[in-house]
Amino acid sequence: MSLCIFLLWLVSIPVCHIHAIPAARGFLLNCGSSKEINVGSLRWITDEGFVSSGNKSTLDTPGLLPVLKTLRFFPDKSERKHCYEIPVIKGGRYLVRTTYYYGGFDGGKEPPVFDQIIEGMKWSVVNTTEDYAQGLSSYYEIIMAATGKTLSVCLARNQQTVSSPFISTLELENIEDSMYNSTDFHSYALSTVARSSFGYDGDMISFPDDQYNRYWQPFTDEKFPVVFSHSNVTTSNFWNIPPTKAFTNAITASRGKTLKVQWPANVSLPRTNYYIALYFQDSRTPSPFSWRIFNVSINGKQFFQDLNVTAAGVTVSATNWPLSGLTEITMTPELGTPVGPIISAGEIFQLIPLAGRTVTRDVMAMEELARSLNNPPTDWHGDPCLPRENSWTGITCSKGKLARVTTLNLTDTGLSGSLPPSLANLTGLTHIWLGGNKLTGEIPDLSTLNELVSLRLDNNELDGWIPKSLGDLDNLQELFLQNNNLKGRVPNALKKRTGINIQ
């Protein structure tokens, strides 16, 4: 396991073991595939309709899982980002997972390195080189709330990218509102650092054992004995609804001994805040005596005092816990407790502050503009403004957590189509430069664009009357309308204005 830039974790899995989630809970996209496929009783669909760019490739690597045999790659260097857009429920919480297996699709020997972006936030750098050298696929996972009716996952080049970004699978799972509910999802997302079943050494636990298809990696520590549970835990009583199978095994210490576990093993965490959930169960047959009490500390700081663990199981969590470097969980038994401490499973997520977004009105207006054009730029998907270095081609935006579109410049780009009335909703615009294209139809009423300084619509095929409402634009200093099929005259209010450039 290696730490990715922007503090998200890349986790590797064998190329021959993966499960899927039921389509009814979300979406399972088999990227680059031309047909739906079944993995067991579950169905992976194609990514057609969720992405509008990129090329398909099929790998001939022997023994690959069906979902890793195809991928989609994005060779167009002119696109600032390549986006998937998936329907969601506004305000719903979602687990999003991207999986990558290179397979030398581009004739190279090492996978390309590139960025991935979710909802306008730079999620991580995708670097699967180490895993691929070991014959492994890699996945990234994040939990966040949807702010609109679609959720975008995008790939983009960075300074390290030497060939085409690519993706093998994209999964989106709608999780319950109770899960991880102490997190302020208006301000943060949770990126998965580790999720483990202690004392377990079998195949990774996922669907159907985990109904939300979270991946629980095996974790053992040869210094401590493994014990097996003699009863099932009713995990629906736990906020995070872990799978019962995660409690099947546990690690423990003998009576009176302290249990110290370094987890994640040999991983140095960056100094920041984390969400931590730890799961415990007394492994003995349920009885009035199947309980044990101990204190839990993390890196020497008390995490929970006098934790009473019974056969019914218990979980303790922290929403905003500071960590750095190696992480050691210490469980110290209460004096006189007849059995030692025990731990069954755990999850750690890094809190990722949300980077902001484009104001909803501007997003809707830009999307309507894209629909009104016959050939908008191919990267007009995802958040229009963010990340700033990956904003939509032809636009610039204001700074701040809520970005506004301030400039629209697509001069001489071969655009066709019309200008929708909703263009007037982009009230932060200072410049509209759309000259030298093949735009048709009328100029809409733009009188609400109080910040507009320059309007260049020259050398198009626009018709109808020159709007009198242009005279209401008090800050307009430049108006280019020549070489169109327009009727009427420029409003007198503009002609009389000192210093204005009209053509």
Of the candidates 105, 110, 96, the one whose C-alpha atom is nearest the C-alpha of residue 169 is 96
pLDDT of 15 higher than 80? no
Q: Give the DSSP H/E element, type plus range, for residue 132.
A: helix 129-133
**Phi, psi (deg, nearest 5) at residue 235:** -75, -10
What local confidence, expressed as pLDDT, does residue 3 receive? 32
Q: How far is CA 352 from the centre of its chain?
A: 11
Report the pLDDT value the prediction gives residue 12, as an integer from 0 to 100. 54
pLDDT value of position 213: 92
Q: Give 338's pLDDT tier (boundaries 50, 70, 90).
A: confident
Could you give the maximum distance between any two Cα atoms of the chain, in Å? 95
- pLDDT attached to residue 91: 93
pLDDT at res. 343: 97
Arithmetic mean of pLDDT, 235-256: 94
Average pLDDT, integer, range 83-94:
95
Question: Which tokens is 257 given?
Answer: 């001994």
- State the pLDDT confidence band at 324, using cuts at 50, 70 and 90: very high
Residue 141: its pLDDT value, please?
A: 97
Write down the pLDDT at residue 179: 95
| Residue-wise pLDDT tens digits, 225-242 | 999 999 999 999 899 999
Number of CB atoms found within 10 A of residue 470's CB:
21
* pLDDT over threshold 80, residue 53: yes
Strands 395-397 and 405-409: antiparallel
Give me the mean pLDDT over the 407-425 stretch.
96
pLDDT at 19: 47
Are 114 and 157 in contact by the 8 Å Cβ rule? The answer is: yes
Q: For residue 21, what pLDDT band results from cuts at 50, 70 and 90?
A: very low
Q: What's the confidence (pLDDT) of residue 39?
A: 85
In the chain, % of residues over pLDDT 90:
82
- The DSSP symbol for 496 reads T
- Residue 288: pLDDT band (50, 70, 90) is confident
Q: How far apart are CA 355 and CA 500, in angstroms?
A: 39
Distances (CA, A) of 204 to 16, 198, 215, 314: 12, 12, 7, 22
Phi, psi for residue 11 in degrees, rounded to 5:
-120, 135
Average pLDDT, the chain: 91
pLDDT band (50, 70, 90) for residue 2: very low
Residue 442 has pLDDT above 50, yes or no: yes
Q: Is the peptide bond before 270 cis (omega within 30 degrees of 0)?
A: no
pLDDT at 389: 92
**8-state DSSP, 237:** G
Say if residue 434's pLDDT is above 80: yes
Point out the least confidently predicted range of 239-243, 333-337, 475-479. 333-337
What pLDDT score was predicted for residue 40? 75
Element (H, E) at 347: strand 345-353
Average pLDDT of the residues in 276-304: 92
By the 8 A CB rule, do 73 and 168 touch?
no
**How many whole angstroms separate alpha carbon 72 and alpha carbon 53?**
9
Say if residue 400's pLDDT is above 80.
yes
- For residue 190, how many other CB atoms are within 10 A of its CB? 22
Query: pLDDT grade, residue 204 (50/70/90)?
Result: very high
**pLDDT at position 286:** 85
Per-residue pLDDT band for 14 (boundaries 50, 70, 90) equals low
pLDDT at residue 281 tops 90: yes
CA atoms within 13 A on the CB side of 43: 8
**pLDDT at residue number 5:** 29
Q: Are strands 461-465 and 485-487 parallel, antiparallel or unpaired?
A: parallel
The confidence score (pLDDT) of residue 495 equals 84
